[in-house]
Structure 1
Amino acid sequence: MTTIAQDSAVTLHFTIKLKDGSVADSTHNMGKPAKLVIGDGSLSENFEQCLVGLSSGDNKAIELKAEDAFGMPNPDNVHHMDRAKFVGDAEVEVGTIMAFSGRDGMEIPGIITEIAGDSVTVDFNHPLAGQDVTFEVEILSVE
């Protein structure tokens, strides 16, 4: 039985729960598991350390502080944009999540947090930034 170590390729299902027990995200909802390589930077170091030593078939609930999960909100990720930039059918209202093109051409989601006159405030922080979460992981395979 292979256990998770540095550079392991891991296939897993995960469910992210908030403090109140509500589910914020789950690979079960997407219908397919996540794949990652330990050490590739897609997870925080502390989170990876919690996975090391697990093997296929293991289930574990990992409680993560905000800084080890999605980080703390970064004020530099909050942008003020001209309302004229929002054209088309998309309705601009507080709470709307819209996709914006990042510098590298990748789409990044932003949440509209405030509208004042012609200024629209968009927050590009991860929606779960600043929140302590519990990851429930189910390890499917380790290579």
Structure 2
Amino acid sequence: MIRADQGDIVKVHYTGRLNDGTVFDASPADRPLHFIVGRKEVIPGFEEAVIGMYQGGKKTVTVNPEQAYGPHRTELVEEMKRSLLPADLALEPGRQLEVDPNEGEKFVVLVKEVSDETVTLDANHPLAGRELIFDIELLEVKKSENKKAAH
């Protein structure tokens, strides 16, 4: 049986859920996720869950915020005057906006609250501070060329 390890190219199907059962992400049935273990292409907790799995295996893991998108940081939530934003900008809670405060450093913020005078924006990742549950099926493991040569 082939086991996933550092440097391997893996193909997985997954479903990501929150504690309340809400699905926040899943691999499409016809397009599994491919990544190289150890390259930090996925969140650390997901990668750690795949290491040691056997091809064809399935597991469910719970990933804490520190191994996912980090804690929710209050310093990334800012209330600003609505007049500082373009007047024609549709502002509603839950909408994501792309901002570019330093010309070339674009990032996404979430509109949390809107009043006549102010807008509260949150630059945290939407899943920051959340425990994530993943159902993972390891479809394929390809050993890296370096490992093949070593065996």
Give the Å deviation of 1:54.
1.3
Query: Based on CA coordinates, which of the two structures has the bigger radius of gyration?
Result: 2
1:97 aligns with 2:96: yes
1:3 lines up with 2:3 in the alignment: yes
What is the TM-score normalised by the length of structure 2? 0.75
Q: CA RMSD in A?
A: 2.6
- Are residues 1:60 and 2:59 paired? yes
Alignment of 1:121-140 (within 5 A): 121-140=120-139
1:11 positional shift? 1.8
Letter matched to residue 50 of structure 1? A
Structure 1 gaps of 5+ residues are none
TM-superposed deviation, 1:98: 2.4
- CA deviation string 1:10-45 (max 9, x = no partner): 22121111111221111127x522222222223444
Give the whole-Å Cα distance in 2 for the aligned partners of 1:75 and 1:48. Answer: 27
Q: How far, CA to CA, are the matches of 1:123 and 1:99 in structure 2?
A: 12
TM-score w.r.t. the length of structure 1 is 0.79
Segments of 5+ residues of structure 2 without an aligned counterpart are 143-151
Amino acid at match of 1:16: G
Deviation at 1:51, TM superposition (A): 1.3
Letter matched to residue 115 of structure 1? V
CA contact (8 A) 2:61 2:133 kept: yes
Distance 1:60 1:3 in 2: 14
